[in-house]
């Protein structure tokens, strides 16, 4: 008795934590592969196409640096090749996965050490810490920060010089060794204060040494003082070098003398003193830029000038930027200028935190109103802020500006914002008609013109124009733009066949929903992906046609089953999409308990799912309602990927309907249940059937409507069927009940153990929705009590 009690207590205490365990929280992950049909944060890859003027259908949600380029092309101020390269550099830096640059290995200093190792018998210098602590602060303020003292170019220059000196003096020569030792001392100053470094200062070389080495040493000494923070001495020494006609460092030293002044300024607390130094530096930079003999230093001097001007007079620099960016003047450092300009815009709008999407959207709307004066001062700023804002005032302003200027950028803004109700629409449509196909904004203008034609009762005209564009799309048209045009054309379809021909689209990008889907990440590379994600991406990258949410929402919620059947039968869809539609039709017919229809579609299902041939045959041959229900349920139970809806995008982890998805995207959740869920949980339909932001221009109400070709009767049928399906239970209950009923009626049916096994699995791996009945336990107990010798019983060792 006592033993029993102890055992019970132990069992109880073991069981308590199990039942008491709080629900798991997903603070991070899982992350799913996503097919993106139209990118909305940036243009399609490669970005060089966009930089070259292939703008496609512009999205207002693009990062502003892209909109600056769009404005330039729309204004007829095309980018030069060097400007294109420069802006690509900016995008590359900005779009890189966060942390990648910081994690770069080997880093610049390490690369220098590797170069050095070749000549020093693998003896490495002391660890080079490129960061140096600020020496600010006093009795009244505690201050703390580091700055990057030795930048990557310094290590690259050192490595390059080392290679040249090794070639000139010999890799094992004492001259080279002396040079390397002096350079080690230079880099040792990277993280030391002036007092720490005094003892180790490199000494000038005596006269018998090679003039080249003497010049090198002078440069090394000046560099040492620069890194050690003795900027006055460094500036003087660099100036001296710049005056030596034979020094190979003459030009570099001219620039570094200015850099010493700038570094000195930026580390000063006193604003007036800081500005004074920066003004001096700016004058010197202007002199360098005006000197054709220093041409090789002009690019660096230009970058430094931007840096300095930004700090001397914020507003003036902004004004100079907008003036320069608005003109076609083949800017040196164009990418940096665009980068600085967008930093200004971010500041004007008050955006700082990228993770706060709602806050950013709000900032854009508020910024449009708040920055009226800045908009008045610059057409570029006006255009960018207006193009991004969604409020009616922005639409009115865009139309007004177009009416005032009749310019292409403002036509683009006015068209893209128009709802079709504005009085200016006919004039805008006429102006749009005149935009030639060679214009960089042709795709944007064509898309919005046809969108407005459709909403203005000129659908036929829009259809014809879109067909002309889509029959043989321009090879330069980005996939995102093709998909936008197809999405628009789909809404104008005459009949089902036409609708189906525009529904499938090739994804423009395969992303991961870890952040925003659209930012390439090292995590998207094969090295980091699991096998199923790798396989899926490989398949999707073959330009496989898939369905975006606008199509699947219509198929799932706006079409009757009779049309789904037609869709599944039509060869206009590729086979995998026919299967997607057919499986939804099968499950829906099952849920609606329409036996006659179920039998009718058996041949179609057998054709598309030959692996389910016998199970489907059993449905066709069933003699009673209960047997039909059981057989149909069994077919679904054996296909975890079947569900009453059509899958969006990349869908489940696997394309194989018979395989279990690792994240319980198996069988389905009830529609009713989803209302009670705060989060999507396992409601994959709810999670994936969301219209993307670009589709918002076609569906401003954020919901799809019935296809125009659908009769009222068909619409009523679709609505009725959907409402019935939405009231049905989750898969485990919908499938478990017919199976259990059949067990009661025909316990000797040899298919029963298999069906019970799958009921058990469906409860475990299907939707996590709780049901009143524990189907898993019932199935388990039935198997073990009534069918103990079945192989399916052996395969069912647990209930859940």
Partner 1 sequence: MIRGTKLGGAALILAMVCLGSWYLVAHSPLSARLKRHLPRAARRLFVAKPSHPPRIANLPNLYLWAWERPEDLQFLGNSKVGVAFLAKTIFLATSRANSNATNLDAVNLRPRMQPLRVAPGTPLMAVVRIESLRGALPGAYSIANSSPASFSSDEIAHIAKEITATAQIQGVSALQIDFDATLSEHAFYRDLLTEVRKQLPPNFPLSITALASWCIGDRWLNQLPPGTIDEAVPMLFRMGPGTREISSYLAAGNSFTVPACSSSLGLSTDEPFSRDILSGKISVSDAPLSSLRVYVFSPRSWEKASADQSLKDLPSWHEN
Residues in contact with partner 1 by CB under 8 A are: 16, 20-29, 99-100, 102-107, 131, 133-134, 136-137, 139-148, 352-353, 355-356, 359, 522-523, 527-528, 530-531, 662, 678-679
Closer residue to partner 1 in complex, CB, 97/173: 97
C-beta closer to partner 1: residue 93 or 494: 93
CB of 362 to partner 1, least distance (A): 11
For partner 1, the closer CB: 32 or 655: 32
Contact 398, 340 (CB under 8 A): no
Q: How many CB atoms lie within 10 A of CB 530?
A: 11
Dihedral over alpha carbons 610, 616, 618, 619 (to 10 degrees): -170
Length in residues, the chain: 800
Contacts of 183 (CB under 8 A, 6+ apart): 116, 158, 162, 220
The string of DSSP codes covering 417-461 is H--S-STTHHHHHHHHHTS-TTSTTHHHHHHHHHHHHHHTT-HHH
Q: Which is nearer to partner 1, 17 or 292 (CB)?
A: 17
Instruction: Name which of 124 and 600 has its Cβ closer to partner 1.
Output: 124
CA-nearest of 99, 166, 170, 159 to 128 is: 159
Contact 109, 121 (CB under 8 A): no
Is residue 252 within 8 A of residue 297, CB to CB? The reply is: yes
- Name the minimum Å distance from CB 347 to partner 1: 11
Shortest Cβ 516–partner 1 spacing (Å): 12
Minimum separation from the CB atom of position 30 to partner 1 (A): 9
Q: Which DSSP state fits 180?
A: H
Query: Residue 145 or 798: which CB sits closer to partner 1?
Result: 145
The owner of tokens 């930093």 is: 343
The verdict on whether omega for the bond into residue 226 sits within 30 degrees of 0, i.e. cis, is no
For the chain, the maximum distance between any two Cα atoms, rounded to a whole number of angstroms, is 110
* Minimum distance from residue 623 beta carbon to partner 1 (Å): 45
Which CB atom, from 147 or from 800, has the smaller least distance to partner 1? 147
Choice between 346 and 497, CB closer to partner 1: 346
Q: Considering the complex, what minimum distance in angstroms separates the CB of residue 143 from partner 1?
A: 5
In the complex, what is the shortest distance from the CB of residue 141 to partner 1, in angstroms, rounded to a whole number?
Answer: 5
Nearer to partner 1, 354 or 421 (CB): 354
Phi, psi for residue 514 in degrees, rounded to 5:
-65, -40
Dig out the tokens for 63 from the structure.
């990062």
- Closest approach of partner 1 to the CB of residue 145, in Å: 4
Query: How far apart (Å, rounded) are the C-alpha atoms in residues 548 and 647?
Result: 9
Kindly tell me which of 143 and 323 has the beta carbon lying closer to partner 1: 143
Q: Shortest approach of partner 1 to residue 770 CB, angstroms? A: 15
Cβ-based neighbours of 579, under 8 Å, separated by 6 or more: 568, 608, 609, 657
Q: Residue 353 or 713: which CB sits closer to partner 1?
A: 353
How many angstroms separate the CA atoms of 45 and 629, rounded?
A: 50
Q: CB 352 → partner 1: shortest distance, Å? A: 5
Cα dist. 458→421, 433, 464, 468 in Å? 14, 14, 10, 16
Shortest distance in whole angstroms from residue 299 CB to partner 1:
25
Residue 27 CB, nearest distance to partner 1 (Å)? 4
> SS3 letters for 517-557?
CCCCCHHHCCCCCCHHHHHHHHHHCCCCCEECHHHHHHHHH
Cβ proximity to partner 1, 29 vs 174, nearer residue: 29
User: Based on CB atoms, which residue is closest to partner 1, 113 or 619?
Assistant: 113
CB of 426 to partner 1, least distance (A): 45
Contacts (Cβ under 8 Å, ≥6 apart) of 245? none
By beta-carbon proximity to partner 1, the closer residue of 7 and 522 is 522
Which two structure tokens, joined as six digits, stand for 256? Answer: 């570094």
Pairing mode of beta strands 504-505, 546-547:
antiparallel
Of 320 and 662, which CB lies nearer to partner 1 in the complex structure? 662
Q: Which is nearer to partner 1, 362 or 570 (CB)?
A: 362
Cβ at position 527, least distance to partner 1 in Å: 6
Which H helix or E strand runs over 510? Answer: strand 509-512
Closer of 252 and 674 to partner 1 (Cβ): 674
User: Are the CB atoms for 364 and 388 separated by under 8 Å?
Assistant: yes
Query: Phi/psi of residue 488, each to 5°?
Result: -65, -45
| Residue 268 C-beta: closest distance to partner 1, Å | 12
Of the candidates 171, 44, 75, 192, the residue with the CA atom closest to the CA atom of residue 116:
171
SS3 category, 353:
coil
Which position has the token pair 């849920």? 591
CB of 189 to partner 1, least distance (A): 17
Is residue 588 packed enough to be buried (19+ CB in 10 Å), middle (13-18) or exposed (0-12)?
buried
Q: What is the closest distance, in whole angstroms, from the C-beta atom of residue 17 to partner 1 in the complex?
A: 10
Q: Give whichever of 129 and 613 is closer to partner 1, judged by the CB atom.
A: 129
| 379-383, long-range: CB < 8 A, 24+ apart | 379/326, 379/409, 380/68, 380/71, 380/322, 380/325, 380/326, 381/322, 381/345, 383/67, 383/71, 383/409, 383/410, 383/413
Q: Report the chain's C-alpha Rg in angstroms.
A: 35
Other CB atoms within a 10 A radius of the CB of residue 366 amount to 14
Contact call for residues 622 and 596 (beta carbons, < 8 A): no
Shortest separation between residue 134's beta carbon and partner 1, angstroms: 7
């Amino acid at each position: 008795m006592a033993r029993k009690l102890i055992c019970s207590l132990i069992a109880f205490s073991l069981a308590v934590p199990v039942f008491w365990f709080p629900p798991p929280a997903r603070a991070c992950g899982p992350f799913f592969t996503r097919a993106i049909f139209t990118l909305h944060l940036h243009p399609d890859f490669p970005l060089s196409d966009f930089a070259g003027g292939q703008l496609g259908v512009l999205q207002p949600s693009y990062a502003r640096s892209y909109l600056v380029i769009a404005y330039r092309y729309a204004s007829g101020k095309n980018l030069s090749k060097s400007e294109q390269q420069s802006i690509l550099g900016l995008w590359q830096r900005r779009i890189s996965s966060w942390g990648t640059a910081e994690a770069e290995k080997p880093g610049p200093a390490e690369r220098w050490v590797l170069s050095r190792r070749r000549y020093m018998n693998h003896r490495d210098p002391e660890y080079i810490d490129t960061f140096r602590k600020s020496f600010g602060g006093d009795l009244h303020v505690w201050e703390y920060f580091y700055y990057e003292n030795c930048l990557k170019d310094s290590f690259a220059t050192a490595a390059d010089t080392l290679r040249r000196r090794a070639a000139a003096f010999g890799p094992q020569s004492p001259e080279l060794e002396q040079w390397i030792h002096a350079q080690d001392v230079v880099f040792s100053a990277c993280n030391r204060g002036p007092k720490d470094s005094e003892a180790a200062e490199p000494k000038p070389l005596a006269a018998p040494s090679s003039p080249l080495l003497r010049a090198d040493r002078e440069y090394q000494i000046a560099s040492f003082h620069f890194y050690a923070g003795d900027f006055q001495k460094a500036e003087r020494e660099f100036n001296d070098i710049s005056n030596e006609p034979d020094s190979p460092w003459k030009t570099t030293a001219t620039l570094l003398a200015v850099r010493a002044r700038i570094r000195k300024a930026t580390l000063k607390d006193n604003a007036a003193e800081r500005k004074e130094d920066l003004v001096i530096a700016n004058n010197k930079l202007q002199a360098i830029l005006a000197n054709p003999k220093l041409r090789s230093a002009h690019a660096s001097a230009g970058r430094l000038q931007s840096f300095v001007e930004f700090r001397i007079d914020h507003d003036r620099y902004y004004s100079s930027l907008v003036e320069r960016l608005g003109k076609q003047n083949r800017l040196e450092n164009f990418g940096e200028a665009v980068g600085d300009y967008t930093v200004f815009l971010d500041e004007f709008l008050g955006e700082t935190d990228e993770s706060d999407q709602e806050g950013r959207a709000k900032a854009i709307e508020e910024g449009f109103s708040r920055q009226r004066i800045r908009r008045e001062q610059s057409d570029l700023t006006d255009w960018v802020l207006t193009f991004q804002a969604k409020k009616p005032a922005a639409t009115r302003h865009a139309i007004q500006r177009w009416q005032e200027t009749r310019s292409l950028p403002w036509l683009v803004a006015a068209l893209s914002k128009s709802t079709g109700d504005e009085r200016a629409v006919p004039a805008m449509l006429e102006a749009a008609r005149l935009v030639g196909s060679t214009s960089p904004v042709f795709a944007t203008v064509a898309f919005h013109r046809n969108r407005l034609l459709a909403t203005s009762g000129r659908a036929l005209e829009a259809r014809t124009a879109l067909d002309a564009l889509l029959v043989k799309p321009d090879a330069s048209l980005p996939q995102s733009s093709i998909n936008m045009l197809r999405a628009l054309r789909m809404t104008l379809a005459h009949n089902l066949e036409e609708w189906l021909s525009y529904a499938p689209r090739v994804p423009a990008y395969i992303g991961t929903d870890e952040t925003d889907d659209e930012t390439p990440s090292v995590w998207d590379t094969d090295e980091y992906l699991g096998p199923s994600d790798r396989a899926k991406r490989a398949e999707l990258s073959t330009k496989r046609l898939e369905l975006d949410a606008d199509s699947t929402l219509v198929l799932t919620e706006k079409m009757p089953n009779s049309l789904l059947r037609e869709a599944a039968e039509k060869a206009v869809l590729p086979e995998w999409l026919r299967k997607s539609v057919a499986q939804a039709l099968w499950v829906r017919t099952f849920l609606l308990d329409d036996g006659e229809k179920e039998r009718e579609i058996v041949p179609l299902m057998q054709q598309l799912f030959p692996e389910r041939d016998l199970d489907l045959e059993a449905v066709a041959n069933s003699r009673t309602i209960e047997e039909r229900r059981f057989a149909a349920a069994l077919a679904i139970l054996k296909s975890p990927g079947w569900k009453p809806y059509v899958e969006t995008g990349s869908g489940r982890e696997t394309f194989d309907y018979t395989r279990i998805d690792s994240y319980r995207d198996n069988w389905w959740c009830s529609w009713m249940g989803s209302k009670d869920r705060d989060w999507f949980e396992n409601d994959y339909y709810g999670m994936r059937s969301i219209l993307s932001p670009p589709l918002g221009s076609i569906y401003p109400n954020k919901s799809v409507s019935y296809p125009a070709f659908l009769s009222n009767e068909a619409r009523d049928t679709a609505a009725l069927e959907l409402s019935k399906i939405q009231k049905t239970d989750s898969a485990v209950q919908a499938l478990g009940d017919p199976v259990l009923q059949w067990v009661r009626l025909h316990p000797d049916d040899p298919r029963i153990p298999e069906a019970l096994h799958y009921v058990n699995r469906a409860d475990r791996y299907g939707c996590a929705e709780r049901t009143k009945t524990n189907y898993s336990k019932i199935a388990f107990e039935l198997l073990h009590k009534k069918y103990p010798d079945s192989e399916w019983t052996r395969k069912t060792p647990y209930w859940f």
